[in-house]
Structure 1
Amino acid sequence: MFKGIKSKLDDMNIIKRLCERAEAHALHDQQREPGAEHFLLAALDLPDGTARLAFERVGVEPDALQAAIERQYGDALRSLGLTADAPHETSISANPGAYQAAPSGQAVMQELAATRKHHAPLLGAHVVGIVAGMSQGVAPRALRALGVDPATLKSAADGIVETIGPAR
């Protein structure tokens, strides 16, 4: 019983850290609500190292993800005739009140919640597997820009999860 409670508390701490880091990444990108790409970056920040390992297993430097995401934002602005060259003169803060994520970020969190009963412990590789399974958005475009086959990355992440599995 106590082991189960400890496991749930550990997961809650990881989710808190994941959300805080995702929000920090979003604010860095001048966005108030984190999207899937920010949760993917946050997963790379988790101390378990499994998100980074998933990227390494498919031959991609995890630290290249941030630049690939920034390129996606720049490309989107250029498609509208705008540039992203101007430095951020003002910083923004998170929305006051309850935590909110962008729709793609909400999808990541909903999938994590839906699958929590199927695995333990909560790992960065879980987030990688979920985001790699998405077909649209900044995160999938950034992965493709890095030359990552999303299905291969998802397989690598899922393999890590299976290896670590239910043991705590």
Structure 2
Amino acid sequence: MLKGLKNAASTLKALKILCETALVEAEAEGLAEVGAEHFLLAAFELPDGTARNSFRSFAVDREGLRAAIQRHYAEALAAAGALPGAMPPPLPITKSASPWATLPSSASGRAVLERLSLKGPTGEPLCGADVILAALAARRGVVPRLLAGLGIPREALELAARTERDAWHASL
């Protein structure tokens, strides 16, 4: 029972870090909603290290992923005919008492949170690799395009994330 409570507390702490960091990442891009790509970036901040380790085998770190996201949005704007510099400046980053409780999320961001909630009370705490797996469930959208742009096969990242998650859970 004590282990279950400890794992639940660990999961809540991970969710807090995940949601707060994802919101900051979205706002830094000038976006009003958190998307799956922002949760991927935020997963790098979780202390378990499984997200970092999952991407390491593809020579991608947090900054490399952030740069790929920025390229994606710049290319999307260019394809839509927007001129560089025509966009308004990024939204100011504001902190509320609990931004993750009422997190403004896009459809892809809500899907990640729903997939993480489906993990349910398995007794295993949430880790960064779980976030990757939740984001990989989408077959269309920003995340699959990011992976393609980075040359990362979806199945290979999924295998790396599952391996990291299982090893981390076994070490607890």
Is 1:99 aligned to 2:100, yes or no?
Answer: no
1:132-153 deviations in Å (ceiling 9; x for gaps): 2321111221111000001110
Between the aligned residues of both structures, percent identity stands at 35
Q: Distance in 2 between matches of 1:159 and 1:90?
A: 37
**Which deviates more from structure 2 when the two are superposed, residues 91-100 or residues 145-154?**
91-100
Aligned position for 2:131: 127
| Partner amino acid, structure 2, of 1:61 | V
Aligned position for 2:155: 151
Superposition CA RMSD, Å: 2.2
Structure scoring higher RCO (CA < 8 A, sep ≥ 6) equals 2
Q: Distance in 1 between matches of 2:150 and 2:115?
A: 24
Shift of 1:90: 5.5
Shift of 1:94: 6.0
Q: 1:164 aligns with which of 161, 165, 168?
A: 168
1:102-126 deviations in Å (ceiling 9; x for gaps): 1101100100110133461211011
Instruction: Assess, with a 3 A threshold, how the Cα gap between structure 1 residues 95 and 121 changes in structure 2: closer, same or farther.
Output: closer
Q: Which consecutive unaligned segments of at least 5 residues does structure 2 have?
A: none
Q: Which consecutive unaligned segments of at least 5 residues does structure 1 have?
A: none
| Partner amino acid, structure 1, of 2:59 | V
Instruction: Assess, with a 3 A threshold, how the Cα gap between structure 1 residues 95 and 78 changes in structure 2: closer, same or farther.
Output: farther
Q: 2:119 aligns with which of 115, 120, 131?
A: 115
Aligned length: 167
Provide the TM-score with structure 2 as the length reference: 0.87
Kept after mapping to 2: 8 A contact 1:50/1:125: yes
Aligned position for 1:52: 52
Provide the TM-score with structure 1 as the length reference: 0.89
